[in-house]
Structure formats: structure tokens, C-alpha cells
Structure 1
């Protein structure tokens, strides 16, 4: 299931620069060049007081005077035998530089040195949220969540307003990156109560809109969209202002107003191109292409999707690539260039899979973090209970040692019996669940459980306005296989059919045996064109089955019927009936083929 594109995903590195480092216009040298430049700085020995003042000065001007910042940290790095506090302060500032040039591993070591030292709590807090900034672009979500937890726990002890705000902003950015938008809004409410600078106010507003956009809590006429654009423009933050403009354009498209979308975003296209941020430009032209596609303008759709592909040629952002290749596939198909359409569809399928795997990694990391939190609470509760038990045992031991030992033995026996009983109960429950939900022969859903799961999928797709398709097929002349070679051979044929189709299906497809040799494949978030390709792939895979393993030589083919919610609506019975009617046409037209549901064609076939 595809999520809404999060523009902010493309500017994690930009956020690091604004919040922690220095202006984008400065070009730092690599860590290796840093060592060379050290040789050119005056090697005079400075007093502790001078070093302290210089580090404070570097920290103060790390944004407004990057040249001075660089010169100072290079100079201080040459000083020997620095006191621990000053050495850790230097490590922090140097880590900012290393993060900017992409030396994440070295920067991580520097920041961990600060955390494991006796530096001040504020310095450690800054090192902690700097680590979060390292883990975001590296997509190390599990470590990032660990640092976010430490960051949140430390917030009540931080009285420096600038770094308190930075720590909260990083937390909000991280949760938005993880797709945990409700959590992000909680911390947005907390930060909104602070006295924010114009720049931080712009960031907070943009992050708020990002969370609301992905939670479907925005409409194109929401006043906060224009308010945020004005605020970010006044703060000279053109990147965030244009990110919000893309949100508004997408909302126009979601509300089926492509003309308004184009009229709005095209007036800012040149300004967006001048930012020279590839991912912002690629996302903008992708959205413009979608608007033209909604209007049926194939030529302009192709122009802008081609530009998006050129800008995002290295697939820096997978989700943008998914949108681009799917549009190019639709354009090629519309122009009846089917070989090109197939190539684009293959690329679309490949990067969509990679994007979904990335989203699963985020979800898994978040689940692991929740599990660890629950486990830690359980351990604390267990320790409390053990302490209470120990006190009780000590009090009772003086008078009733024998009784206590007997009671503990009884409890141990009861616990063992309970564990054995509970284990058998779980095993029985698992077996009953399998019998209730899965077909015993093929291992896919049975009809009853399919109805329940399919209904949930239909309701979700309907509420989120997503496509959904349904494929129904049954094996041709299957009774003849049973009558000629026996039911064991027929069972083999059914299992071989399912195995062939499973290799083609996506993980979120709903595959079920409706009865006998009749099967159904429900495809959430899948339009009719893709469903037809999937059905044709299944048909070819079934036809290619080699039956030698069964001990007999015979052929297996199937007749397919395909429909979707556009043709049949969001009613499961209607979808099944229409797909069955289309499959009936396939049977009457010679079998071993795919037929798409069409009312006139079905009536003609029945007559």
C-alpha cells in the first residue's frame, strides 16, 4: 500500500545544516583535507582561557560566520593536553563538520566520546540530538529511536532555550521520517508553547503541515497552508515555503481539481528550479505530470515525467521513482508502445518493492522499540515484586521456614502445571485457527476467512479512495483429471497451481480457494490494468506447469475473469459475481484466457 509522499524525507540533510551546522553555500573540505589544512594554521600554544573563549566564539558563529568557525576548530584541534570539558566541546563542534561532509562513522565516534565523558548535561544533550541527525540520513532507525528516547528523557533538565528547541525539532523530524505523525504532533504542541525564532517557527509550521497532510487532516483551502508559506517566505526559507506549496498542489489533485493545481504550482516552478535541490524539483514536476494526466494531456505528462526521471536519475528517493515510472508506464501504454510500457512497469515494480521494504524496516524498528520499552517496564515490575517477596520471606523465615519451603514447592508445581496447560492451550488454539482460516490442501485462505479479510480490504480502499481489483479463475477440465488419473493427482494439480501463482503475487494480495478448483485473488491498491497483467502472468505460469512429478502426463490450464471497483463497486458479492461472469466468458471463448468484465460482453456471451 503506497503512502503519501513526504517531501521532508528529501531534505533531512538540509535540516541538519539549518539546525546544527552552517549555511549551504559553504563548501567544507573532507576529513582528510582537514588534516592537511591543520598544518597551515598557526601552531602557537593557547591558554585554557583563550581556548575556552575561542570555542564559545566558534559555536556562536557556526552559522553566521562559517569561515571563522572553520578556522577556530582547526586551530584548537592542534592544541595538546586539552582539559576534558574543552576536548569534548571540540569533539562536538568537529562532529558538526564531519556530519556535513558525510563522514558519519567518524562523527558518531566523536559524539559518543562526548556522551561517555564527564561533560556537562547540556553538551551531552547536544551530542545526543546530533547523533539522531546522523542516524536519519543513514536510515538506522533502531539506533535513532534509542537516541530519541534519551533525548526526550533529558528535555526536562535542559534550560537553554535554543538547544531545547533544537532537541524538540529533531524529535519531530525523526518521528515524521518514521511515519509516526501522531507522535510528531504531540511534540509539535509542546514546542509551539515556546518563544520561537522566525526560522524555527517556519520549521514548526511546515512540520505540522507535513504530519497533518499524511494523516489526511488537511484540505486545499486550509488557511494554515498560506499562513505557513508567508511565514517561511518572511524567514527567507524558500525550501520549506515550496514544500508547503507542493502539499497544497497535491491536495488540489486529491480533490479532483487538476486545473487549480496547475494554475497554482506552475507559477512557482522556475523559483523551485532555482533552488537547485534535485528532490524538490523532481517532486514538483512529478506532481505537475499527475495533474496533466488527470486532465488527459498525455504529451505534457510525458514532458514532466521525463524531467522528473532526469532529475532523480539515481533514484535518490525511491517513492518519487515509483510515481515517475508508473506515470511513464501509463503514458507508454496510452501511446500503445507496449514494449516500452513493459520496461517501465518492470522498473516501477522493482523500485516499489524496494520502497516498501524501506517502509517495513521503519515499522519493524518502531515495533522493536515498543517491545523493548514494554520489556523494560515488565522487568521493573518483576524486580519490584521480587523485592517485596524477599522482604516477606525474611520476615516469615524466622518462625515458619518449613511452611514457606513447602508453599514454594507447591507454587512451583502449580506454575509448571500452568505452563504445561497454557502451552497445550496455545497449540490447540493455533491449530483451530489454522483450520478455521486456511484451506487444508493448498495452504491459502478458505472462503470463510477470505470473505472477512476481503471485506476489511474493501472498506480500507474505499475510505482511502484507492483502487482494488479482483481476479477469479478455475482450472479447465479438472473433473477429467480426477476421473482419469485419480483424486491424488487432482490434489497435486491444485497445489502446483497455487505454488505457480504465489511466486507472482505481492505479499499484501489476498489469495483464497473458494471451492473445488475455483480460486480468487484480491489485489488492494491495484488498478485494472495491473490486475490484467497479473492475471495473464498467472495464466501463463499455470500453463507452464510440468506434470511429470505427479506420475502422469497431462496439461493444466485455467480460465480467468478480472474486474475492479470502478466496474463493480466496493461490494464483495458484486465483485465476485462480475469476475465469475468474466471467467464464464473465458470458458465459452475457448478456455485458457483472461477476460475483463464488461457488461455488454457478458450479456452477449450469456445470450
Structure 2
């Protein structure tokens, strides 16, 4: 083969590998291996290394792929290829938690896309932006971006599949269940038809979530069993553990504890490094419930301790993420405010110059203008402080109930317990969980469920004094930390909360249902000042309340852990 023919082959093989990099990574790898890089142009070498990094990413090496993308962005000259690499890099920045850098790159990418008329390039870049904003927990933005892809014609299949998966996930996050089962099925089958099994698996898990939300657990189990047989799922550990954790959860709901336990334990075996934390948390929760139901409280406590440690890490990471995101948004807003301040200052200087050269009558008018501009400067300074205060509020508050979120509740509890240990003062923790709350959501809808949660938060807040720390820990679970209270007083307060919740009347509609709550109480005199121990003890007591009839208060005792 002469050099001219060889060069043509290299280019065609590179293009084919680019087309197959997601749908058929094995053949894409073979094509790359057959290419003589010496025969490629400078831009083709960059494309080669980009495709190679995409394929390696399937093996889970996110950091290495990010380093390759970052290096390629320093040398790439082709504008279109640069946008593609930027979009891929943006997705990885979210996975690595580099939110500030990601937001800055996202802003730059939006600007570049506005200047190109290459529709396919725009769509591929939008997919990177979609993945970033999905992990940024901005479902509204995701829906806007996906509408620029899924409703268009001649969209590359891998782009359309990614956008469909993101759109469905965004609707789910917004508690919007307007998507039908047929919609889910059509999307997943479209991806399967084009051999895009990565997106197919994601959509099938979304389908399972939809079925579980409808209470159709047997149907959900069938889909999960089929999914576990897909080779690409079996060979990609993060997807395997995701599917297994759902499989364990469904089997537990169906009463098959043996199958649930096997699946959950397999998750822990496959993911010893906790790379897929959500799957591991779900598996530990399943195993904790099974051990508790079997009255194996020692094992249940061990699982609970692991679960709490991992949830604490996740809460800390989530808080760091929120603060980083809010800091980035604040800096963007601050830059805009700074530009506006400079404009005001320039106008102020102009007004001062005018003031010095005019008559008294005109000077008085100019002086009024100067006063107005000074007031504007004060306003912008005040506005910046208000933005900062608002960001702090959002980072700490559960938006539905307007009380502390889990991350801020944990932070306050740890601070108070550290101080209490120094002073040797007593502290009590109350955990409370609404009884049969899922039945309310399933029977009357999530809007009524949200109303119930807000009412619970209101009546408990009214029951507590200002010294108590009150937060929503997730779902229908709440926590209360009482400063300086002995267990006897804590039990009385817990009972007052139970009665107050039982008296809530569903006056918002014609629906008739009763709200009750189970509560567990622990005290530092029993388990010490470590928050994890205090929480685990209260949780065991809460389990006793559930186990022995619900709508009651139980206090932790050492016998529960035996």
C-alpha cells in the first residue's frame, strides 16, 4: 500500500472509530489500533487521542480522561473539534466535582455555540451541557436544553438517546409523571435498536423507577432481571451495582428477603471502593432493614453505622457541591455587579466634573445627580451582601418545609455535641418518621404528600423552643436535637410532637386520612457525644416504635443492640 492510499485509509478508519466510539467501543478500539498515527495530520492526532480517551472512559478512569481532554484543549486549533472536547470535558468536571470550573466553561461554551451554525455540532455540545446541568441538579435547564435535541430531525442516535435519558430523569426530579410507560419504553427501545446499551440501561432503570412509583413491584422486578442479563450492564460495574441495588429494594418490598439480601450483598462485594455511592447506600439500607426485621440487632447496628458514615460523607460532599455552585454563581453575579458599579462610578466622575464647571443653578441640579449616583453605589453594595445571605440560606434550608436540611442539621448537631462534651451537659436526639407515608403519596398524589410534610414541620416547630435544632433528614424523616435535656424531658417533648401530628386535619381537600408518626429517642448519657452513635441509637428506638404498632414513642436502651 503506497503512502497516499495509506493516508486515505487512516482518515477513513479514524472517522469510523469516531462514529462507533459509544455504540461499539470494541470495534472502535480495533480501528484505532489499526491506524498508523504517523500518517495523521495534527488535528487528526488530537481526534485520535480524544476518541481513545472516550473509549477508556468506559473503564471508569474519569481522572485520566479529564487530564487528556485538558491537555488536548491546550493544543487543538480546529474550532469544531475544540467545542466537542470542551463538551466532553465539561461532563467530566461535574463527575470530579469541579463545579466552579465547569460553570465557567459552560458559560464559554454557550457563547461559542451562539456563533456557529453547525446544527450537529451544537447538538453534540448541548449533550455535554445537559450532562453537566443534570449533575448540577438543574432539571429546568436540562429540559430547556433537551428540547433543542429530542424534538428535532436528523439528530445522531447517541445524542438523541442521551437527551431522552436526561429529559426523563429531569421530569422525575421535578415530580412530573406526565411521561407514560409507553414513552419510557419507546425511548429505551430506540437506544437498544441503535446498540446504545449504556443509554438503554439508564432508561430501563428510569422505567423501573416509574413502575415502583406506581407500586407495580412485580413488573419492576421482571425488567431488572432482564437488565441484569445484558452483557454491557454486566461488564460495567457502576450500572451493575445500580441495577442490583434496585433489584434488592424491589425484592424486599415484595417480601423476598433472601433474594434482596443476596443482591444487596453483591453490591457491597462489587463496589468495595464505593465508586457508586448511591447504590451502596441503597444496599446498606436494604441489609439494615432485613437484619432489623430478623431481630439481628447487632448486625443491623453494624449496617446502620456503615450507612450513616457513608450518608455523612455524601451530605458533606453535597454541601460542598452546593457551596461551590453558589459561590460560582455569586462570583458571576458579582462580576456583573462590578461592571455595573464601574459604569456608575464613571457616571459619578462625569457628574463631578460637570458640577465644578457650571453655574450655581446647574450645580444644584448636578449635585442631585451625584447624590442619586452615590445612592446607586450603596444599593449595589447592599445587593451583593443580600445575595451572599440568600446563597447561605439556600445551602442550609430544605426548600419544601423551610427548616434545616440534612447537611446543615448534621453540621449543627456535631457543633452542639462537641460543645456539650466540653461542658458535660446532656443532649437528646429525637428521630421521627411518618407512618405509611408512601400510601398517602400513592393514594392522593405527591402534592398532598408535600402538604402533609409542610404541616408536620409547622406543628413540630410550634411545639419546640428556640434552643432546639430541627431538620428534615430526607423523605418523611425528621430529626430534633434538644440541648441540655435529660431523657425524661426528651420523651415528654417527643410525646407532645406525636400528639400534635395526630391532631393534624387534612382540610386541604375532600381526602380523609390520618397522619401519625413513630419516634425514637436517645440521650448522650446512654451512648456518648458522637453524633453517629446518638443517631444509631435513636434509629433503633424508632424501629421499635414501628415494629410494635407505630404512632408511639420509644426510648433507646442498651438491650436493643444486643
TM bin (shorter chain): 0.5 to 0.7
Q: 1:456 aligned to 2:401?
A: yes
What is the aligned partner in structure 2 of residue 172 from structure 1? Answer: 130
1:61-460 → structure 2 map (5 Å cutoff): 61-64=17-20, 65-70=28-33, 72=35, 74-75=37-38, 87=42, 90-91=45-46, 93-98=48-53, 101=56, 102=61, 103-104=64-65, 106-114=67-75, 119-192=77-150, 193-218=152-177, 221-271=180-230, 275-389=234-348, 398-399=357-358, 456=401
Q: Measure how far apart 1:239 and its partner are.
A: 2.6
Q: Measure how far apart 1:126 and its partner are.
A: 2.9
Q: 1:525 aligned to 2:470?
A: no
Cα 1:244–1:565 shift into 2, 3 Å: farther
Kindly provide the CA deviation profile for residues 387-419 of structure 1, in whole angstroms up to 9, marking residues without a partner as x.
445555666655459986996699579959996
SS in 2 for 1:236: coil
What is the aligned partner in structure 2 of residue 466 from structure 1? Answer: none
Q: Measure how far apart 1:96 and its partner are.
A: 4.6
Cα 1:55–1:265 shift into 2, 3 Å: closer
Task: Provide the alpha-carbon RMSD of the alignment.
Answer: 5.4
What is the aligned partner in structure 1 of residue 415 from structure 2? Answer: none
Equivalent-residue separation in structure 2 for 1:169 and 1:517 (angstroms): 48
Equivalent-residue separation in structure 1 for 2:93 and 2:376 (angstroms): 47
Contact 1:563/1:579 (8 A) holds in 2: no
SS in 2 for 1:300: helix
1:451-490 → structure 2 map (5 Å cutoff): 456=401
Cα 1:520–1:578 shift into 2, 3 Å: farther
Equivalent-residue separation in structure 1 for 2:37 and 2:144 (angstroms): 40
Q: Measure how far apart 1:235 and its partner are.
A: 1.0
Q: Which moved more, 1:290-299 or 1:321-330?
A: 290-299
What is the aligned partner in structure 1 of residue 427 from structure 2? Answer: 500
What is the aligned partner in structure 2 of residue 58 from structure 1? Answer: 14
Q: Measure how far apart 1:305 and its partner are.
A: 1.4
Contact 2:355/2:367 (8 A) holds in 1: no
Cα 1:54–1:402 shift into 2, 3 Å: farther
Contact 2:100/2:324 (8 A) holds in 1: yes
SS in 2 for 1:62: helix
Task: Using structure 2 for the length normalisation, give the TM-score.
Answer: 0.65
Unmatched 5+ stretches in structure 2: 21-27, 390-396, 407-418, 433-455, 507-513, 523-537, 553-562
Q: Measure how far apart 1:155 and its partner are.
A: 0.8
Q: Measure how far apart 1:187 and its partner are.
A: 0.7
Contact 1:232/1:241 (8 A) holds in 2: yes
Kindly provide the CA deviation profile for residues 155-209 of structure 1, in whole angstroms up to 9, marking residues without a partner as x.
1222333322210111111111221111011011112335212332222222211
Kindly provide the CA deviation profile for residues 276-317 of structure 1, in whole angstroms up to 9, marking residues without a partner as x.
222222222222222222223322221221222223332111
Contact 2:133/2:141 (8 A) holds in 1: yes
Cα 1:354–1:194 shift into 2, 3 Å: farther
SS in 1 for 2:164: helix
Contact 1:76/1:90 (8 A) holds in 2: no
Cα 1:111–1:406 shift into 2, 3 Å: farther
What is the aligned partner in structure 2 of residue 23 from structure 1? Answer: none
Q: Measure how far apart 1:132 and its partner are.
A: 1.3
Cα 1:365–1:92 shift into 2, 3 Å: farther
Cα 1:311–1:366 shift into 2, 3 Å: same
Kindly provide the CA deviation profile for residues 427-458 of structure 1, in whole angstroms up to 9, marking residues without a partner as x.
9xx9xxxxxxxxxxxxxxxxxxxxx9999369
Cα 1:74–1:104 shift into 2, 3 Å: same
Equivalent-residue separation in structure 2 for 1:273 and 1:310 (angstroms): 19
Equivalent-residue separation in structure 1 for 2:347 and 2:52 (angstroms): 52
SS in 1 for 2:491: strand
Equivalent-residue separation in structure 1 for 2:6 and 2:363 (angstroms): 69
Contact 2:501/2:515 (8 A) holds in 1: no
Cα 1:404–1:110 shift into 2, 3 Å: farther
SS in 1 for 2:113: helix
Contact 2:157/2:194 (8 A) holds in 1: yes
Q: Which moved more, 1:227-236 or 1:242-251?
A: 242-251
Kindly provide the CA deviation profile for residues 531-572 of structure 1, in whole angstroms up to 9, marking residues without a partner as x.
7xx99xx89x967xxxxxxxxxxxx86452557999985766
Unmatched 5+ stretches in structure 1: 1-43, 78-85, 431-451, 462-491, 544-555, 584-592, 603-607
SS in 2 for 1:191: coil
Equivalent-residue separation in structure 2 for 1:417 and 1:386 (angstroms): 10
Equivalent-residue separation in structure 2 for 1:578 and 1:287 (angstroms): 27
Cα 1:498–1:205 shift into 2, 3 Å: farther
Q: Which moved more, 1:59-68 or 1:331-340?
A: 59-68
Cα 1:66–1:158 shift into 2, 3 Å: farther
Q: Which moved more, 1:319-328 or 1:132-141?
A: 132-141
SS in 2 for 1:190: coil
Cα 1:261–1:60 shift into 2, 3 Å: closer
What is the aligned partner in structure 2 of residue 550 from structure 1? Answer: none
